[in-house]
Chain A
Amino acid sequence: MRLLTHNMLSSNIKGVTKGFPLKIEVEKVVEKQVEINHDFLRNIFPKIDWKAFSDAARTMGYVELPEQAPDPSVLESDLDFLTKFHHALLELHLEEGALVCPETGRKFPVNKGIPNMLLHEDEV
């Protein structure tokens, strides 16, 4: 699971009002190279929840992103920023670990890169 996917997933347990962002517990991170696409990065940037994203990247051991969302102008000129943004968004994979509901602490295990978000009967 990549951090772009993490930026959308949310805990949907019955009664939970704020299931986003899911905390990450890391056992294993893998990196896979993907070709960089500047236009895609510019389009997706305004839709990213930056705090959730940069916190997640840090948890995964990647500390190169600013904590606050940078001014969108960096997307035009700053190749260094684009490279880091791309790397954190699309090249880091949580391979083993867990996602944790921020409200209840319920753990959703991640095995072989696949988070298991299935709810128990009493959570639906």
Chain B
Amino acid sequence: MKLKQLETLLGDLQQFTTPKVELEQYPTGPHIASRLLYTAENSFDDISNKVVADFGCGCGTLGAAAALLGAELVIGIDIDPQSLEIASMNAEDLELDIDFVQCDISNLGWRGQIVDTVVMNPPFGTRKKGIDMDFLFVALKVASQAVYSLHKTSTRDYIKRTSLRDLNASSAEVLCELRFDVPQLYKFHKKKEVDIAVDLWRFVPKRSQVKDN
């Protein structure tokens, strides 16, 4: 599938109807989502025929993109039931089989590293400090191959240092810098639309070096 085609399909997905500020629910736009998954598939072979988990999946954009690119199993995990309902409908509209689980990523109970790749657009931690690193910590425990994640560019040094030192990453690489446009969703947003600089990261978990296949 071509990048443009992927972006168009994702552009038709339904997004949050009443976003919850405490969960930092911002839709992952089709531009960013398509690029994240396209890079994971075409530069690193991390998506097709793989087990992919979408952490904090929201309306399921990243997971849907993974399924469209040929992931064998996609699991979308989110704490919010309304988001999961929209994500299920989105998957159905695109005729994609995606498993959804309602769970707080910080308390996720998980066996082994059967998931190959985690993709996520985690909360940036502007409302609940440290939640972005909680997501990354769990993702690097669950994934055997790679974790793709978006983080504010302003936190680049901190992310790099912490993921390598404390979070079981053997490598942490910024693949590109993107503009994340946050539409005016909430009352406290004064400007109509803001652009935030975000980094697209690829982390490799340590244990993946002893691959079992």
Contacts and interface: CB of A to CB of B under 8 A. Distances in A.
B109 A9 contact: yes
A35 to B, nearest CB: 10
A8 B107 contact: no
B88 A4 contact: no
B108 A12 contact: yes
Nearest to B109: A12
Interface string A30-47: 001010010110011011
Contacts of B114: 4, 7-8, 44, 47-48
B104 interface: yes
B102 interface: yes
A51 to B, nearest CB: 13
Contacts of B115: 8
A4 B101 contact: no
Given A8-B114, A34-B97, A46 B104 contact: no
B51 interface: yes
B99 interface: yes
Measured as residues with beta carbon below 8 angstroms from the partner, the interface class of chain B is: 20 to 34
Nearest to B103: A117
B72 interface: yes
A8 B72 contact: no
B73 interface: yes
A5 B73 contact: yes
Contacts of A1: 99-101
A47 B73 contact: no
A83 interface: no
Interface string B42-71: 000000010100000000000000000000
A115 B102 contact: yes
Contacts of B113: 47
Nearest to A123: B107
B51 A44 contact: yes
B111 interface: yes
Given A117-B103, A118-B79, A4 B73 contact: yes
A61 to B, nearest CB: 19
Interface in B112-142: 112-115
Interface of B: 49, 51, 72-73, 75, 79, 81, 84, 88, 97, 99-104, 107-115, 212-213
Interface of A: 1-2, 4-5, 7-12, 19-20, 32, 34, 37, 39-40, 43-44, 46-49, 90, 112-119, 124
